Amino acid sequence: MLNGKVAVVTGAATGIGRGICLALARQGAKVAALDIDSANNAETAGLVQGAGGDCLPVTCDVGDRQQVRLAMALVLREFGRVDLLVNNAAFWDNSSLREGTYDSQTAQFEQAISSCTLGSFNCSSAVVPALRAAGGGNIVNLITEHVKEGHYLTGRRGLGYDCAKFAQWRLTAVLAAELKTDNIRVNGLCFGATDTPMLRGEAPDLADRAMKPEDLAQAVLNVIAHGPGGPTGETYLFGTSGTPREESVRAIAALAPAG
């Protein structure tokens, strides 16, 4: 359903971002893969191209507004348009004030905010003119279940990650309202444990039972499948931690348009 379309995916080097790049390419999209990790990002591009897709790997720290400006200019020179932005980049931190030093803990917190909050805003700001030029499009923010009541994270790890995700959750609602008249839909996915290198580093047993990157990729496809008149400003909750993967997959299928 994405033939002739161009998608920009952040945090594309591994895990969910890589899965989304592959899924979008299989639907016919040309994909710009943005990540600070140039080596693994090149591997993502190789996998997409090996599967017959077109992928432009772009080394970019999305928290750096100048790098984002240059990255988007490169995407437009290469592909000529943008129709979809997936803000997936994030950093799981340990900024507990009972550990480390002032420098280590503030650096962890800053990296979490930079990659997700600043990254989502920088990339959205850079891509909106292209989306307007294309007559509209989609921004999909990969958030977390932690922003939903009953799923708040407690404990000393991931404070910066969660603060960044709460900001991204609010950004979704504000941009959706602001950009609706431009036919730009902005929606978020609030989901639980997913088998990624980040989760395997924290809780490998949970990763074994979790959703897979391809499941999240399908969720992105189902949300954008509603087309220009579809919902905007939604933050869909599904696949909460502890939910069997089969049940999560059914919830993802329910995100698609009826019929």
Q: How far apart are the first and last CA of the chain?
A: 16
Q: Please, which residues have CB within 8 angstroms of residue 90's CB and are 6 or more apart in sequence?
A: 11, 112, 115, 116, 142, 161, 164, 165, 198
Sign of CA dihedral 10, 11, 17, 22: positive
How many CB atoms are located within 10 Å of the residue 172 CB?
27
Instruction: Say which residue, 136 or 149, is predicted with more confidence.
Output: 136
Q: Are 135 and 183 in contact (CB under 8 A)?
A: yes
Query: Domains in the chain, start-ordered, CATH in brackets?
Result: 6-253 (3.40.50.720)
CA-based nearest residue to 211, from 19, 13, 22, 1: 19
For residue 181, what pLDDT is reported? 97
Tokens of 35: 């990540």
Alpha helix segments (H runs only) across the chain: 15-26, 38-50, 65-79, 102-113, 119-133, 159-179, 197-202, 204-209, 213-224, 245-253
For residue 89, what pLDDT is reported? 98
Q: Are 89 and 34 in contact (CB under 8 A)?
A: yes
For residue 165, what pLDDT is reported? 97
Q: Is the pLDDT of residue 241 over 90?
A: no
Q: Rounded distance, CA 259 to CA 28, Å? A: 22
What mean pLDDT value characterizes the chain? Answer: 94
Q: Rounded distance, CA 21 to CA 14, Å? A: 10
For the ranges 136-150, 160-174, 185-199, 233-247, the lowest mean pLDDT is seen at 185-199
As a whole number, mean pLDDT of residues 146-154 equals 85
Q: Are 34 and 12 in contact (CB under 8 A)?
A: yes
> Per-residue confidence at 12, pLDDT binned at 50, 70, 90?
very high
Model confidence, pTM = 0.95
Q: Rounded distance, CA 88 to CA 211, Å? A: 16
- For the segment 154-181, what is each residue's pLDDT rounded down to a tens digit? 666 789 999 999 999 999 999 999 999 9
Gyration radius from the chain CA atoms: 17
